[in-house]
Structure 1
Amino acid sequence: MKRTLAFFTLLVLLTGHASAQRVAITLDDGPMLERTPLMSPRERNDAIVRHLTSRGVQAMFFVTVNRGADRPEGRQPLGALSQAGQLVANHTVTHPDFNDPSTRLEDFEAEVDTCDAVIRDYAGYRRFLRFPYLREGAQDTKRDAIRAFLRERGYRIGYVSIDDSDWLIDEELVAAAKSNPSLELAPWRSLYLDHLWRHAQAYDSLARSIYGREVPQVLLLHHRLLNALFLGDVIDMFRARGWSVISPEEAFSDGAYKVAPRIPRLDGSVLETTAQALGVSLAPLREMGSERQVGEAAAALRRSSQQP
């Protein structure tokens, strides 16, 4: 049986002492210029910055250029993030699915280079790429070629360990707020925090199954209304439950993020792909519920908010 996984320092990865849980915050797809109820694009960005700076948290923002960074009105919020001490990294131009056979290697490489040209002059610029949809390749030669390209550019993969469905809750929240501008937000906050906490616990358990130790987690969120409203609550929740909120660069320095899983299809959290490569059970993830269940709960909340 040949399950292969390239580790930089295998011995360090598979051993270590337990420590308190840690989590780093990352946000994808910003700055988003789509209009939403409750807040303008600039107000959403300013709120996210306030949540972070008021709590002394540094996050990493993975920029999708055509969401706004290619326009003057999008460069302003991107500059505000960088000036506030936040980090800026690469999430391509159009958010293509690298696992899709129609996404050509050379086109994807061009998207990485184009995004890099947009973000490289900001003070918070870091050479990390996060693959759209967390899909890093469904064919060996294509996967290996993009990894070689990234190494040549001095890039690392901006892995996620805690994958969640904040975007799905956000879609239902936006729809509810359009129908009801005086929407009661407390139930949405509770739904969101419960969702994230269950996912954090499940992925922490999976990490310990793989490595026999605590792994600093990297949380995937999105630059959306949901986090403009509740990102501060997310940070407060983790701290109240004993987790430390650390910088993404500190998290990415851990060996768990210096891996190159070699499995037929790369899709999802780095902990999932690492477990699959090593033959470790994904049973801990069954405790967090499915994306379908999250969507159903958010849709039910939207419907209840529209009732007289």
Structure 2
Amino acid sequence: MTSWRPALRRAVILATMAYAPAAHAQSVAFTFDDGPRLETTPLMSPQQRNQALLDALAAHRVQAALFVTCGFGADKPEGYALAKAWGQAGHALGNHTMTHPDLNDAKLSLAQYRQEVQDCDRITASLPGYQKWFRFTYLREGNTPEKRDGMRAFLRQSGYRNGYVSLDTSDWRLDEKLNEVLRADPKADIAPIKQAYLAHLRQRATAYRDLSRKLEGRDIPQVMLMHHNLINALWLKDAIQQFVDMGWTITTPAQAFADPVYQLQPERPAPGQSLLLSIARTRGMGKFEGWERLVDDGDFEINALAAGAGARQQE
């Protein structure tokens, strides 16, 4: 059962028919969560990581979006400067709460979560590139219908767009592995992690493209979730080039969000999902071929890296 009204659904279908010719070619928009971060990582300072991300985007002339978690750095002068640099470079900036709480947490109230959004908004609203876009932390819209519906009403009344993700990635999991390896040995060979990262992005992109065709009968402009972290600072330029080599075009987040699919409001019976997975489950699609690779949080790649490391030790 869907949570959108029949009239809205008919309007979305009609708008999709009108939009389809312009969206024929597969495209992707790059969006990043949880930045800017001021934490210490191997190889790069916070300023170097931020600049590396901006340089990679500039090299490919990509206009992206940064969903700011204000308590991770933007609430401090040095972190605010890093976020400001995104807006000055022509990128959009959205809201990802103040401290990144989980709305599915039974101990967190709807009022507390709303306050998180409002507190962060006071900072992001002063940045160049500010957009009234909000992305749920962990892509979770609440552990109760009251939280879900309450936040949807709050966003609507506040003029916010839900910054949906259609192409979810587990780059954060591979980033954790990268940091773990480099902290243990700053001179470690990290080429296998780079290969796993690029292969992971390709696999997820292909799978979500296939899922959009099953659900919508067409290629939608994908909104990809990545993070403001070390792995992307090192290899985002390669990741963008991989999409170009795959024949995908790069679009802006605003252009992607204009697609009618991003007007849908599916129920989310499972926590932390891409919009496409939520639509699939709302429509009763059930488990489909390859679904397990979309919900494994990078387990496949992490296990493959461990197996490869074990094989190299035996040589």
Q: Which residue of 1 aligns with 2:181?
A: 176
Contact 1:24 1:251 in 2 (8 A): yes
Q: Which residue of 2 aligns with 1:296?
A: 303
When residues 263 and 167 of structure 1 are mapped into structure 2, their CA distance, relative to the original with a 3 A threshold, is closer
Quote the offset at 1:203 in angstroms.
0.7
Quote the offset at 1:198 in angstroms.
0.4
Quote the offset at 1:262 in angstroms.
3.0
Quote the offset at 1:100 in angstroms.
1.6
Cα distance in 2 between the residues matched to 1:117 and 1:265: 31
RMSD: 2.2
Cα distance in 1 between the residues matched to 2:182 and 2:116: 34
Secondary structure, aligned partner of 1:220? strand
Amino acid at match of 2:273: G
Contact 1:32 1:74 in 2 (8 A): yes
Q: Which residue of 2 aligns with 1:82?
A: 87
**Under a length normalisation based on structure 1, what TM-score does the superposition of the two structures give?**
0.93
Which 10-residue stretch deviates more, 144-153 or 257-266?
257-266
Contact 1:266 1:273 in 2 (8 A): no
Q: Which residue of 1 aligns with 2:12?
A: 10
Amino acid at match of 2:12: L
When residues 215 and 84 of structure 1 are mapped into structure 2, their CA distance, relative to the original with a 3 A threshold, is same
Q: Which residue of 2 aligns with 1:108?
A: 113
What is the aligned-residue identity percentage?
42
Contact 1:90 1:116 in 2 (8 A): yes
Quote the offset at 1:307 in angstroms.
9.7
Cα distance in 1 between the residues matched to 2:311 and 2:40: 24
Contact 1:139 1:265 in 2 (8 A): no
Amino acid at match of 2:122: A
Contact 1:179 1:306 in 2 (8 A): no
Cα distance in 2 between the residues matched to 1:147 and 1:132: 14
1 or 2, which has the higher strand percentage? 1
Quote the offset at 1:176 in angstroms.
0.8
Cα distance in 1 between the residues matched to 2:233 and 2:208: 24
- CA deviation vs aligned residue, 1:133-179 (integer Å, no higher than 9, x gap): 00012211221111111111100110001112100100110111112
Quote the offset at 1:19 in angstroms.
1.9
When residues 265 and 170 of structure 1 are mapped into structure 2, their CA distance, relative to the original with a 3 A threshold, is closer
The size of the alignment, in residue pairs, is: 307
Contact 2:26 2:219 in 1 (8 A): yes
When residues 180 and 137 of structure 1 are mapped into structure 2, their CA distance, relative to the original with a 3 A threshold, is same
Cα distance in 2 between the residues matched to 1:58 and 1:248: 8
Secondary structure, aligned partner of 1:261? coil
Secondary structure, aligned partner of 1:283? coil
Cα distance in 1 between the residues matched to 2:36 and 2:108: 24
- Match runs of 1:157-306 below 5 Å: 157-265=162-270, 267-286=272-291, 288=293, 290-291=296-297, 292-300=299-307
Cα distance in 2 between the residues matched to 1:116 and 1:303: 47
Cα distance in 2 between the residues matched to 1:56 and 1:307: 44
When residues 305 and 175 of structure 1 are mapped into structure 2, their CA distance, relative to the original with a 3 A threshold, is farther
When residues 82 and 300 of structure 1 are mapped into structure 2, their CA distance, relative to the original with a 3 A threshold, is farther
When residues 208 and 61 of structure 1 are mapped into structure 2, their CA distance, relative to the original with a 3 A threshold, is same
Secondary structure, aligned partner of 1:221? strand
| Residue 65 (str. 1) matches residue 64 (str. 2) | no
When residues 306 and 152 of structure 1 are mapped into structure 2, their CA distance, relative to the original with a 3 A threshold, is farther
